[in-house]
Structure 1
Amino acid sequence: MIVFVVCRLIFWMHHTSSSVLVFKLVISGNRRYTTDDEIRNAVLRVAPMGTFITYNINLVQREIKSLPWVKQVSVRKQWPNKLKVYIIEYVPVAYWNSSHMMLTRDAVIFTIPESRMNRQSFPMLFGPVGTERDVLINYYVFLEILKFNLYTLQSAGIDNRYSWHIILENGTRLILGRKYCIERLQRFVKFYPIFLKKNMYKNNEFVHYIDLRYESGFSVKTIPNK
């Protein structure tokens, strides 16, 4: 008798579920970049409508995961007619080597479409493949040194010879070299304001780059201000 009741219950659930359409989409999670429309369109690309039993949430999950800002996604059905989507986004901190690749605070690289380029204000970090974590770590160190001395960092990274370069917000480029880059940057913030006050302002010149690859001091390349 108990078995009979259970079987009848299962039959009723299957029969009823097969006629119930999944039509209510519930979206949750901390989102900053992924819109409701993008998620809804991703769901509709899999199937415009489906039954509660037959709706393939794995395909839906895969489609939403392909959206540029989505790091993780969980999709589940809730009786009788809900599709619940929970999203975790990437948290970008910088562009990486180009304006369509971004770097997270965990040094994970992800790609954004051309239509979303340059919408956000982030520094540009650059370096050879596999150096993103080292570049990101040094970027934060550079950032603190410069912020403490009221400089703003626009770009930082290493070239193919693993020489460190920084570009300030005003366009001035700092060449730090392969070694002692922290000490050299500290030397810059200590002595450059004195040099700037004595020389640049009175000559109406712009500092194109500063080479700090010396045991003491630095060399400066200037161009006339337009």
Structure 2
Amino acid sequence: MNRQQAGVNVRSSRVARPSNESDTAALIPLHRQRLVVIGATLAAMLIAGLAVWLALGAMPDIGKNLPIERVVFVSATTAPLAEVDGEELKRFAAALRTRGATMLQVDLVSLASLVKQVHWVREVTIRRQFPSTIVIAIEEHKPAARWLATLNPEGEDAEVSTLVNSYGDIFKAAIADERRALLPQLSGPDGSSIDVLTRYASLVAPLKTIDRLPRTLVMTPRRAWQLTLDNGTSIELGRTDVDERIARFIRTYHDLPPLQLAGAAVDMRYQSGLTIRNRALVMSSPAKSVKTPPSRKRTA
């Protein structure tokens, strides 16, 4: 029994030995596979480095072989380009093609700065479209009003107007006289264009309720507001409580016929009242005016 058991044990140990040998044999190919992967990776890195080195060495020759053959102008928005002078853009494109810059050599930042100097151009985005096309996307200014840096309209160039776009940015551009005449006129100190445009926009809807429109709006150096309506009525709104004062003017408009006269001069800088003067009456009799207290105290 002991021998049989020993034999069994011997046989069992002999059976187990090939299993260990097969495990060892399986480990060898796995080790070799790792070496192959490492070697392939190093070879790929070497080839990639060589390709980069060759490309950098050939870069000047590649640049010479990629001339700019087309310059395409497109709108950066869904609306087509309507304001920019097409002939001016054609001259710009021709100059870019003939001055010798290639697709890789052209400085897109400097090019965008040049395009922004063209009238009506607000923003520019430029991209290369290989092999030979430069695509220039233009966002045009949308004029919201005419801008006067001073209260003297005669100081403006007859051919180039100073305008305010829908963002409150000031820009200069050529515009037809009849179109310029339709734009409202805004004015204010340096750096105030956004505030003035915002205030103007806030007046449009309330004044429509009495069938009137704001035609000019001025912010004085003291930050006070002076408004002129489309019928020539001028309104002093002061520096404070502008919304309340314009609301009081609208409430009173239909109850006071003098307010509805063309050319009336209205002062709303009172706590709960106003004064009205008509320019035609003042010219013939300066003492004539209309007051509507109850409060005679005028505020800022």
Measured against aligned partners, the alpha-carbon deviations of 1:110-147 in whole angstroms (never above 9, x if no partner) come to x214x336444321111122333332222222112112
Does residue 1:140 correspond to 2:186, yes or no? Answer: no
In the alignment, is the contact (CA less than 8 A) between 2:68 and 2:97 conserved in 1?
no
Does residue 1:41 correspond to 2:41, yes or no? Answer: no
The alpha carbon displacement at 1:9 in A equals 7.1
Measured against aligned partners, the alpha-carbon deviations of 1:41-71 in whole angstroms (never above 9, x if no partner) come to 2344456353434444444222102123222
Does residue 1:116 correspond to 2:175, yes or no? Answer: yes
Separation (CA, whole Å) in 2 of partners of 1:52 and 1:21:
6
**Which of 33, 56, 75 lines up with 2:126 in the alignment?**
75
Q: Which residue of 2 aligns with 1:102?
A: 163
The alpha carbon displacement at 1:23 in A equals 2.3
Secondary structure of 1:194's partner? Answer: coil
Does residue 1:126 correspond to 2:187, yes or no? Answer: yes
**Matching of residues 69-218 of structure 1 within 5 Å:** 69-97=120-148, 100-109=161-170, 111-113=171-173, 115-116=174-175, 118=177, 119-120=179-180, 121-196=182-257, 206-218=262-274
Q: Which residue of 1 aligns with 2:70?
A: 24
Identify, as 1 or 2, the structure richer in helix.
Answer: 2
The verdict on how the C-alpha distance between 1:7 and 1:126 changes in structure 2, with shifts beyond 3 A counting, is same
In the alignment, is the contact (CA less than 8 A) between 1:18 and 1:54 conserved in 2?
no
Identify, as 1 or 2, the structure richer in strand.
Answer: 1
**Matching of residues 9-20 of structure 1 within 5 Å:** 15=61, 18-20=64-66
The verdict on how the C-alpha distance between 1:6 and 1:213 changes in structure 2, with shifts beyond 3 A counting, is closer
In the alignment, is the contact (CA less than 8 A) between 1:166 and 1:174 conserved in 2?
yes
Secondary structure of 2:115's partner? Answer: helix
Letter in 2 for 1:37: E
The alpha carbon displacement at 1:173 in A equals 0.9
In the alignment, is the contact (CA less than 8 A) between 1:42 and 1:63 conserved in 2?
no
In the alignment, is the contact (CA less than 8 A) between 1:173 and 1:210 conserved in 2?
yes
* TM-score of the pair, normalised by structure 1: 0.78
In the alignment, is the contact (CA less than 8 A) between 2:71 and 2:93 conserved in 1?
no
Secondary structure of 2:73's partner? Answer: strand
In the alignment, is the contact (CA less than 8 A) between 1:207 and 1:220 conserved in 2?
no
- Which moves more between the two structures, 15-24 or 185-194? 15-24
Superposition CA RMSD, Å: 3.2
In the alignment, is the contact (CA less than 8 A) between 1:22 and 1:49 conserved in 2?
no
In the alignment, is the contact (CA less than 8 A) between 1:126 and 1:157 conserved in 2?
yes
The alpha carbon displacement at 1:14 in A equals 5.8
* TM-score of the pair, normalised by structure 2: 0.61
In the alignment, is the contact (CA less than 8 A) between 1:17 and 1:80 conserved in 2?
no
Secondary structure of 2:136's partner? Answer: strand
Rg bigger for which structure?
Answer: 2
The verdict on how the C-alpha distance between 1:73 and 1:200 changes in structure 2, with shifts beyond 3 A counting, is closer
Q: Tell me how many residue pairs correspond in the alignment.
A: 218
